[in-house]
Amino acid sequence: MKSDEVGVHRKLEIQELKEIINEAFESSHIYKDKTKAFHDKYLSRITFEIGQKVLLYDSRLKWFFGKLRSRCVGLFIVTNVFDRGAIEIKSNKTGKVFKVNGHRLKVFYEGFQEKDMEVDSLERPDYIE
């Protein structure tokens, strides 16, 4: 082969390699879009309302935090909901008002209300001795 033919052949090989790389990039981009759409389909969007009770996630790095300890602090009340996920909350203890990202908040669920119920005695029945 002549040197000109070798140069042309080498340029064709490089061009084929670039096409393969571009196809791989496009297919990985399509795969990522599909997996993101699948993941986002199963996410539950939390909407906050004014007057709702929430807990604030404590994002500070703590060493030896404790496996079963709650990472949420305080009890706050939502005072305002802004666009783009910003929430204004007010502390029950101090009365301070500040803005936080909505992803740092969890809805506070109050326990079941106890009702007056008759309690049966836990005595042994007569037939068991």
SS3 label, residue 103: helix
The mean-pLDDT minimum among 20-24, 36-40, 74-78, 106-110 falls in 106-110
- Per-residue pLDDT, 72: 81
d(CA 100, CA 72): 14
Summary mean pLDDT of the chain: 83
Listed by start position, the domains of the chain span 1-43, 53-107
Q: How confident is the model at residue 81 (pLDDT cuts 50, 70, 90)?
A: very high
Q: How would you classify the pairing of strands 105-107 and 97-101? A: unpaired
Q: How confident is the model at residue 80 (pLDDT cuts 50, 70, 90)?
A: very high
- Are the beta carbons of 51 and 45 closer than 8 angstroms? no
Q: If you average pLDDT over residues 71-78, what whole number do you get?
A: 87
53-107: CATH class: mainly beta
Of the two residues 44 and 64, the one the predictor is more confident about is 44
d(CA 11, CA 8): 5
- Per-residue pLDDT, 1: 59
- Per-residue pLDDT, 126: 64
pLDDT digits (tens, 9 = 90+) for 38-54: 998 887 778 889 999 99
- Per-residue pLDDT, 3: 75
SS3 label, residue 98: strand
